[in-house]
A and B are shown apart, each in its own frame.
Chain A
C-alpha cells in the first residue's frame, strides 16, 4: 500500500518540472531576443558586404587607376547638390575626376582641398554629362534637374528613345570613361510646340544610399594643354628673332 507516497512524489515531480520548464522558457525567450537583434545586425552587415564586394568588382573591371573614398557629409550650401569625400589633394585627387559607385556615375570632383574633396552630384542643376543611348548609340547630353532626377533636353521630337532605355556615358568629353551607366529613361515630356521633346531619367547610381564611392582617373587630364603651348616663351621668340636676323643678313 505505497500508492499515497508514489502519488505524492509524482505530484512533486510534476510541479518541479513545470517550474523548470517555465524557467527555461523565460531564459529561451530572452536568448531569442538577443539572437534576433544580432540577426538583424547580420542582415545589415551582409548587405554592406555585398555592396563592398560589388564595388571591388567594379574596381577590378575599371582597372587599377581607381581610388575608394568615403562620403563624409553633404555640403552646407542648400542650393545645390554636393557631397564631401574624405580624400583630397594629398591622396592625389584632382578636380574633374569622375566619381562612380557600383551602379553608375555619381558625379564629378569640383573642388579639392588638401584632405577633402567636393563632389557635385549628377542630379545638381548645373551638372551635365555627355551620354549615349545603349539601344541605338544615339549621342546626347544629360542634365541634372535639382530634384533628384536627370533629363535629356532639346531632343528632336522624332528621336528614337523609348521608356526603359539605358543611357550610358559616351566618353567623347575626355573625362568620363565610356560605358558607365548614367540612368534609365522614365518618361517623355513633349514640348507644346512639338519641336523638341524632353526625356526624364532616373539616375542609375544610388545617390547618397551608401557611403562608399570610387574615384576614377579622367581619360585625359583636364589640365593637359597642347604641346605647342608648353614651349617656353623665350624659345619661341628666339626662333622668330633668328628668322628676322637671317632676313636682315
Chain B
C-alpha cells in the first residue's frame, strides 16, 4: 500500500463526497458526551489535518473555520476557539504536506504530533486569556492520542483510493 511518495503505486484520486462524509462522521464522533475521558481524541482535528495534508484543494482553512465554528456552537465554548485552532492546524499541515508525504509513516506521525499538540495548547491559551480555568493535565493526553491515530487513519481514510481501476475479484482490495 502506498502511504508516502517513495512508493511507485498509483492511487485513485480522493472523492470529495467521501472526504465530506468523513468530516461529518468526525463531527458526530466529537458530539459524544465523553467528558469523563479527557483523553478522548478530537476526531475533527484529526480528519482536518489528514485531508489538509492529502487533499489540500478540497479541505483547507475555510473548511477548518466552518467546522471550528460548529464545534464552538455545540460545545458552548468561547466563540472562535476551535475555529482558530483548526484553521492554524490546517494551514500548518498544508505548508508541511510536501515534506510529510515523503516520510515513512512513523516519521509522518512525529511531524503531525506538534501540529495537533500546538493546536490544543492554543485552545488552552485562548481560554486562559478569556478568564476561564486551566484544563487539567489529562487534557494534554488528548492531542497525543489524536496524533497517534494518524497511522490507522491513514489506512482507513485512504481505503477507497487503494482500490485499483481494473477490479480483480480474487483480491480483497
Q: Give the B-binding residues of A (Cβ under 8 A).
A: 72-80, 82, 84, 111, 118, 124-126, 146-147
Contact = CB atoms under 8 A, between A and B. Distances in A.
Nearest to B138: A78
Contacts of B135: 78-79
Contact of A146 (B36, B38, B75, B133): B133
Contact of A72 (B33, B76, B136, B139): B33
B40 to A, nearest CB: 9
Instruction: Give the dominant DSSP class at B's interface.
Output: loop
Contact of A147 (B33, B75, B133): B133
Contacts of B17: none
B35 A74 contact: yes
A82 B76 contact: yes
Interface residues of B, number: 18
B35 A78 contact: yes
A99 to B, nearest CB: 16
B131 A125 contact: yes
A147 B135 CA distance: 10
Interface in B118-133: 124, 127, 131-133
Contacts of A78: 35, 38, 135-136, 139
A79 B132 contact: yes
B76 A111 contact: yes
Interface in B96-141: 124, 127, 131-136, 139
Given A111-B76, A118-B76, A73 B133 contact: no
B146 to A, nearest CB: 14
Contacts of A146: 132-133
Given A111-B76, A125-B131, A147-B133, A76 B38 contact: no
Contact of A80 (B33, B133, B136): B133
Contact of A73 (B30, B33, B75, B139): B33
B33 A125 contact: no
Considering the complex of A and B, which 4 residue pairs feature the smallest CB-CB distances, nearest first? Answer: A146-B133, A73-B33, A79-B132, A79-B127
Contact of B35 (A76, A118, A125): A76
B2 interface: no
B35 A79 contact: no
